[in-house]
Structure 1
């Protein structure tokens, strides 16, 4: 396993400055935002695909620091019912897939997207209960008319270029749980897998270790994010886990993102790392920092310090004691 980081946390720095800061922490891999919600401050695929000199400079910035790119990311809502919004996200995703293929990066991370409730809708609709029956009707329409057809097309495009799609299981999008990921994977194929982030499992009430077991048995984990979550035992009784308060209202929210080790202890994270290896995931653990109680540098540094002793980096040997 290698320790990596999603570089968007250093979007205020140039690519070279960000890489120097990251490398100084002993991190070996980077996940780079290429559009969509994370933006493209460090990597604009539309530009790099058209300018060979810029592409070579980008590659040199990574290679000269002995780092690897674990994934390119273009998180967006390509199924947004407003066509111009959806098209912009789609264009970023396709350009990111093309760039990943050119760079030899095996995974592109994104969201599944979430459609509206009919062809004339203006905003996404995320059904979370089967009744009243309208909700089930909306969900069935979304999957049959939007989610599966879109990902069949894009999944084929990615597969033809040797790229795997890592969908982040994020609330508010059609694929947000192990079951919904496997549903889409069954319809589209093995090109679809998870960019599994335990923080989004915890607030939904899903045990990340069990999520890893479920998805790992299907070889359906393409990438992994390291981010923590804490659930407030009092506020959750007021607001529930679908708390819609702004993330800035940290005293009042039912849950909030934390840096690794500040939501769950080292034993829990050791169990997560062990489960990943148990199911055959021996790739990058990519830190994502979204802790509202810590600065960027402090949150990132603490995550590195928490994870470095837990990673298993050496190849598996034979069970000499058997």
Structure 2
């Protein structure tokens, strides 16, 4: 496994300065934003695809520092009823897949997306209750008319380019759990897999170790985000896990994101890393820092320090004692 970072964290730094900063802290790989919510501060796919010299210079800057690119990330919502945003998200995904092939990057990370409740709706709709029955009807329509048709086509497109799609299991989107990921994968093929981010599993009540094992049995772990979550039981008793308060309201929220080791202890994180090894995942451990209590650099460095203690970098040995 290689320790890396989702470089949107350092969007204010120029590309090569960001690479130097990451290298100095002992990281080995970078996940780079290519559009959608992550933006294009460090990588504009359209520009690189149109200019071979710029493409080579981009790759050389990474190679010269002994780094690799673990993933290109274009998290958006190509199913959104907002036609302009849906189109931008789709075009960003298509360009990102093409760029991933050109750069020999194995994985593109994104969201599954969420459509409206019906044709002509104006906003995305995320059903979270089985009753009243209307919610089930909405969910069935979303999957059958929007989600599966779109990702069946995009999975085939990604396979043609030799790229895997890692859908982040994130609340607010139709694919947010092992079950929803595996349901979509069954309908669309093995190019579809999970970007496992424990921070979004914990608040849903899902054990990340169990999720990794479930997904791993289907070879469906395509990527991993290292981010933690603190669960405030007193506030959860008041608001429940579907807490719609601002993330800035830390004192009253039921849960909020933390740097690795500040929501769950390192034993928990060592169990997660071990589960990844158990199911054969040997990709990036990509740090995503959204801790409202720490600065960018301090939160990032704490995550690096804590993960270095539990990461497994050497290949598993033969069992010499057998």
Same fold by TM-score, threshold 0.5 exceeded? yes
**Alignment deviations for residues 207-265 of structure 1 (CA, whole Å, 9 cap, x no partner):** 00000010011100000000000011111111111111111111111100000000000
Aligned partner of residue 286 in structure 1, secondary structure: strand
Aligned partner of residue 172 in structure 1, secondary structure: coil
C-alpha displacement of 1:23: 0.6
- Structure 2 equivalent of residue 275 of structure 1: 275
- Structure 2 equivalent of residue 107 of structure 1: 107
- Structure 1 equivalent of residue 297 of structure 2: 297
1:214-233 paired onto structure 2 within 5 Å: 214-233=214-233
**Alignment deviations for residues 146-181 of structure 1 (CA, whole Å, 9 cap, x no partner):** 000000011100011000000000000000000000
- Structure 2 equivalent of residue 158 of structure 1: 158
Task: Determine the C-alpha separation between the residues in 1 that align with 2:291 and 2:110.
Answer: 21
**Alignment deviations for residues 37-93 of structure 1 (CA, whole Å, 9 cap, x no partner):** 010100010111001121111111101100000000000000001222100110001
1:198 aligned onto 2:198: yes
After TM superposition, what 4+ stretches of structure 1 lie above 4 angstroms from structure 2? none
TM-score, with normalisation over the residues of structure 1? 0.99
C-alpha displacement of 1:36: 0.3
C-alpha displacement of 1:317: 1.6
TM-score, with normalisation over the residues of structure 2? 0.99
Task: Determine the C-alpha separation between the residues in 1 that align with 2:223 and 2:147.
Answer: 21
Aligned partner of residue 126 in structure 1, secondary structure: coil
Q: Name stretches of at least 5 consecutive residues in structure 2 with no aligned partner.
A: none
Task: Determine the C-alpha separation between the residues in 1 that align with 2:85 and 2:25.
Answer: 37
Task: Determine the C-alpha separation between the residues in 2 that align with 1:262 and 1:219.
Answer: 30
1:313 aligned onto 2:291: no
Task: Determine the C-alpha separation between the residues in 2 that align with 1:61 and 1:168.
Answer: 28
Task: Determine the C-alpha separation between the residues in 2 that align with 1:64 and 1:246.
Answer: 42
- Structure 2 equivalent of residue 257 of structure 1: 257
Task: Determine the C-alpha separation between the residues in 1 that align with 2:316 and 2:120.
Answer: 54
Task: Determine the C-alpha separation between the residues in 1 that align with 2:170 and 2:117.
Answer: 19
- Structure 2 equivalent of residue 207 of structure 1: 207
Task: Determine the C-alpha separation between the residues in 2 that align with 1:52 and 1:131.
Answer: 54
1:1-322 paired onto structure 2 within 5 Å: 1-322=1-322
Aligned partner of residue 261 in structure 2, secondary structure: coil
Q: Which moved more, 1:42-51 or 1:308-317?
A: 308-317
**Alignment deviations for residues 292-317 of structure 1 (CA, whole Å, 9 cap, x no partner):** 00000000000000001211111122
Q: Give me the CA root mean square deviation.
A: 0.6
Task: Determine the C-alpha separation between the residues in 1 that align with 2:134 and 2:321.
Answer: 59
Q: Name stretches of at least 5 consecutive residues in structure 1 with no aligned partner.
A: none
